[in-house]
Structure 1
Amino acid sequence: MANKVVILGSLNVDTILRIKRVPQPGETLQMNDRSSAAGGKGANQAVAAARAGAETSFIGQVGNDDAGKFMIESLKDDQVDTSGINVDSGSGTGSAYIFLDENGQNSILVYGGANQKVTATEVHNGAEQIKHADFVVTQFETPQLAAIEAFKLAKEAGAMTILNPAPASEMLPELLELSDIVVPNETESASLTGIEVTDEASMMANAAAFEKMGVKNLIITVGSKGAFYSTEDGRHDFVPAFKVKAIDTTAAGDTFIGALSSQLKTDLSNIKEALTFAQRASSITVQRLGAMPSIPTKAEIEAASK
């Protein structure tokens, strides 16, 4: 049976600016290309989960504008339940500007817009979906107070909670306590613990620091190297990434989270297999241009695994 996944998160229209390199202060450079696509960490994760086979619902907010309509239709195209998305007439739909250089590395500017106005009221619009969820997932592109409300509802329903603390910021301790699994990248992990991620010993030190903060299960993604995991029952290991030539790393982390939530069992008994699946999904995403358009389907992930 497919996992039921609820994502609370951001909805952004991404504008991708292809450039040779990031300009220096005061410098003017020509762009090589410009394009727009559906994005936002929340939306990307929802599409990744849905394409990887999960029954996916979304809780979030857009503005009463063309960009908002575009985002809702984009999620519907991937069979994501959008009934939990509120339309706010007082603010615009979120947007992001992605500077993509010739090496496939990106720098991103984000306008939160309606995403930043998500409250407990909007979360309760998706309470029915949370009630039936296996996993409830959120990030930091919507307010943490809304995330706390969603995770409280998840706990009442017996669902597992996954926190992706991205982009890195100060974290409310209550949110950590309500998180069953925390999935930062190495930079985010270091910013939360003060311990730089350089090797397996430092990853174990990060896990110990998170445990003191009340986190039971930790997954640290380390870009093209792979992912480390540590569980409350004492299991830990490093799952290497698949070696590919990256064209665009946008949405690689979001693909990982969504694909992981689609496969992981709620008792975490298959964590290594689910991480391998998520790594494979991310390796496909980075070989394509754009955020949401680059996210693979389950069939593509399985085909790449053969």
Structure 2
Amino acid sequence: MSDNILQRARKTFQLEADALSEVQLLLNDDFKQAVLLIQNGTGRVVFSGIGKSALVAQKIVATFNSTGTPSIFMHAADALHGDLGMVQEADVVIILSKSGYSPEIKALVPLVKNFGNKLIAIVGNTNSYLAQQADLILNTTVSQEACPNNLAPTSSTTAQMVMGDALAACLMDLKGFRDDDFAKFHPGGTLGKKLYLTVADVFPGNDRPLVYENQSLKEVIVEITQKRLGVTAVVNEQKELEGIITDGDLRRMLEKNTDIEGTVARDIMTRSPKTIEAGELAVSALDIMRKNAITQLAVVEGKNYLGIIHIHDLLKEGLI
């Protein structure tokens, strides 16, 4: 029984992957013209559809808005009962439909055309009413749905989704949309924090463990214990970072049975430790920690020691 389940799942993946390969070959000059029409337009992109296509349209709207192309969703049925008023003169209208013959779509299309808006069809039937009325056609015809009965929209809605993603990706390229642009539209959550949260936003909440090079081992232990970060920086008289001492450094020293009388900070510190500038992204601190299998980084500004950022800080911020 379980083998049959996995077999059906794998077949679903394969059917939808095959469908995308088919649709990729259908891309033509209309796709290029659609991208340029949206890019050069002064209005928004209004997406519409009915049923499953409406749900896909809403996802594409979210993708467009998050990547710098202002878009709205208008349900095809609601458009006939007042929502058509949201369409403005300069807007480009994109209607999604598998058949291109849904009653709501057939009623909506002439209204959009009467308004004078450019109409793009993402459609699975290029001989349909929607396709014949559209200014540009993005063909999402699939030979088979992944549904066992070849009925439920599966491969066809996947094709619609990827067509929308392709439009968004091309528009991002044309606009030179970068990481910092992306951060403006994603200020919340883990994604946003990875793009804008800096080390300076995080480390000031910690104590600032610090000893001088000639301070005793006892003073080092007390500093590490009191500041509760498992580490202390070792600095010179100018407060410039010379090294760090971790809990692990202390344990390894004691394992060697070193004569601790007269031992000072400079004798056991790790010289040239891993550091990060306060202005760097917090996610960069996480990358350094992971690559070097460490849990703390000294924060510096040039040679000056500012404090410690701990992996627990990044965990609290949701970066891990």
The question of a shared fold, defined as TM-score above 0.5 by the shorter chain, is answered with no
Bigger radius of gyration: 2
Q: Select the structure that is richer in strand.
A: 1
The TM-score, its normalising length taken from structure 1, stands at: 0.29
TM-score after normalising by structure 2: 0.28
Of the two structures, which has the highest relative contact order with CA contacts closer than 8 Å and spacing of 6 or more? 1
The structure with the greater share of residues assigned to helix is 2
